[in-house]
Amino acid sequence: MDKMEIKPKYEVLTSSTIVIFGLFLIIVIIFFAVQIQNGIKSGKYIGQGSENRNTINVTGVGEVYSKPDLATMSFSVISSAKTVEEATAGNTGKMNSVIGAVKGQGVEDKDVVTVSYNIVPTYDYIDAYEDEISYRGGKRVLSGYEASQTLMVKIRDLSKIGTIIDAATAAGANESGDLRFTIEDEDSLVAEARAKAIEKAKAKASQLAGELGVSLVKITGFSENNHSNQDYSYASKMMDSAEGAANAVPSIEPGQNKVQVTVNIAYEIY
């Protein structure tokens, strides 16, 4: 009697596993192929929406005028002497008098700031002659020292500007200037100017859309720029007293400052 050939059980299981694995591998390959193909298709259109988007850009300018409420001005004392000690002592005494005079007009400590202090040597240049005709060149000779100190003062009571200038110069300030008028808190003025600028830009966009026969869809871009400046220069003159002006006090007029905001708005249209 012939014996039947019996295949090992483990060989059958191995064949089934190979088939299942092969089917799984085919499914995975198909899945990734589809994903890659979809990625390539979508990549063709990346950025095309913004490139093909129809837009118009409009600009609006808003301006607000306001009287300044703060003035800044510098006062300097410059002193010269043969030695550093003498120049420093002379300058310190005069500047202390200037500071006292300024504060005596109601300026607070926080509004008085020393912005520079310098001590430098000074020289004389002497020509040298061998005789009355032949020139042998010159030389530089130390002649002394110059001390200088500059004070920056904030003046909140603008009606006292002329009086403060007069008091500071009488106390020893031999240089003054750089008078500027500003608005200490401009935030509310900037907001007002911005609102005006946006309103003008929107009106311009609506007008353009009507003239072009298109419709505004949405805002796609916005930017703004703001600055302020003194629109009217202050006037300065000397006021004479009835007795003949023993001391002349300058009259300072602050005028008005302009706060300006410019906005740029981009609209999508169809």
Length of the chain: 270
Helix (H) or strand (E) holding 265: strand 257-269
- The CATH code belonging to domain 70-182 is 3.30.70.2970
Reported as a single tens digit per residue, the pLDDT across 127-144 is: 766 555 555 666 788 999
Residue 60: is it exposed, middle or buried by C-beta count within 10 angstroms (0-12/13-18/19+)? Answer: buried
CATH number of this structure's domain 51-67+186-269, picked from the four choices 3.30.110.170, 2.30.30.240, 3.40.50.300, 3.40.250.10: 3.30.110.170
Reported as a single tens digit per residue, the pLDDT across 51-109 is: 557 999 999 999 999 999 999 999 999 999 999 999 999 999 999 999 999 999 999 99
Q: pLDDT confidence of 45, banded at 50, 70, 90?
A: very low
Bigger pLDDT: 53 or 118?
A: 118
Going by C-alpha positions, the residue among 251, 228, 261 that lies closest to residue 67 is 228
Token pair for 119? 């001590």
Going by C-alpha positions, the residue among 61, 74, 66 that lies closest to residue 232 is 66
Q: Where are the domains of the chain?
A: 51-67+186-269, 70-182
Do 266 and 222 contact (CB within 8 A), yes or no?
yes
Q: What are phi and psi of 186, to 5 degrees?
A: -95, 0
Bigger pLDDT: 3 or 126?
A: 126
pLDDT at 232: 40
Do 101 and 168 contact (CB within 8 A), yes or no?
yes
Token pair for 125? 């240049």
Residues 89 and 149: their CA atoms lie apart, in Å, by 12
Going by C-alpha positions, the residue among 201, 220, 215 that lies closest to residue 269 is 215
List b or e across 202-239, with b for residues whose CB sees 16 or more CB atoms inside 10 angstroms: beebeebbeeeeeebeeeeeeebebebebeeebeeeee
Lowest mean pLDDT among 115-119, 216-220, 225-229, 248-252: 248-252
**Its pTM surpasses 0.85:** no
Q: What angle do CA 186, 188, 190 make, to 5 degrees?
A: 65
